[in-house]
Every structure is written in structure tokens, then in C-alpha cells.
Amino acid sequence: MKFIGNILWLVFGGLECAIGYFTGALALFVTIIGIPFGVQIFKLGLLCLWPFGSKVSESNSSGCLSMVMNIIWIIFGGLYACVAHLLFGLLLCLTIIGIPFGKQHFKMAKLSLVPFGRNVELAI
């Protein structure tokens, strides 16, 4: 069932969302300062490719640097990505068929708000 959900996700917008995240990550990889943020955007793109069955977990090595980077992240775009995923999640939850897809947007909203100090475990 997860496989079917992931295929439907890719067909109906997940691939476009992932391409957007990967493009943003590549743009940040060009600058030295943007590399850590590009890695986090790449994590979001991976989760956007295969969300059903994937898990977001806390990292053991998160410290005060993660907190500072998350604050910078929230100021410069994380809040907008989180709100976008929340809005799409709410819209999808209006229908019974869209509820599983809305839950995946809520999972991505949580990761897009504070990605530093979190790991994405893909279920392939």
C-alpha cells in the first residue's frame, strides 16, 4: 500500500515538489555558506520523493549549533515552506481520499520548520 501511495504522490505533485527542493539545494551548494542549508533542503527533497513509510527522527548529535542554524533557517524561508505544507495538508484533509496525503504534508511541514538535528529514514 505504501508503494501505491508513493507512486500516486509522485504523479500528483510530489515529483514537482522534489524537483523544486533539489533545485534550491543546488543553488545553495554553489555558495560556501549555503552548503549546510542545501543539505537540509536536499533532505526535504528526498522526503518529498518517497514520503509514505519514511520516518523523520531526532539526531543524537543535535546541539546548540543546530538551534542557531534552525533559527536562521526559520527566518530565511523555513517558515514559508512550513506554512505552504500546512496549507496543502489542510486542503487535502478536506476529502477522505486526501487524508493520507495531507498527513504526509504535515510530516514535511514539521521537517521544513526545523530540519537541523533531524534525520530522514527512507523506506525503500
| pLDDT bucket at 91, cuts 50 / 70 / 90 | very high
Longest dimension (CA), the chain: 45
If you average pLDDT over residues 45-65, what whole number do you get?
84
Domain boundaries, the chain: 2-121
DSSP state of 97: T
Give the pLDDT band (50/70/90) at residue 95.
Answer: very high
Contact present, 40 and 112 (Cβ < 8 Å): no
Look-up of cell digits 549549533: 65
Q: Model-level pTM?
A: 0.86
The Cβ-side half-sphere exposure at 113, using a 13 Å CA radius, reads 10
What mean pLDDT is reported for the chain? Answer: 89
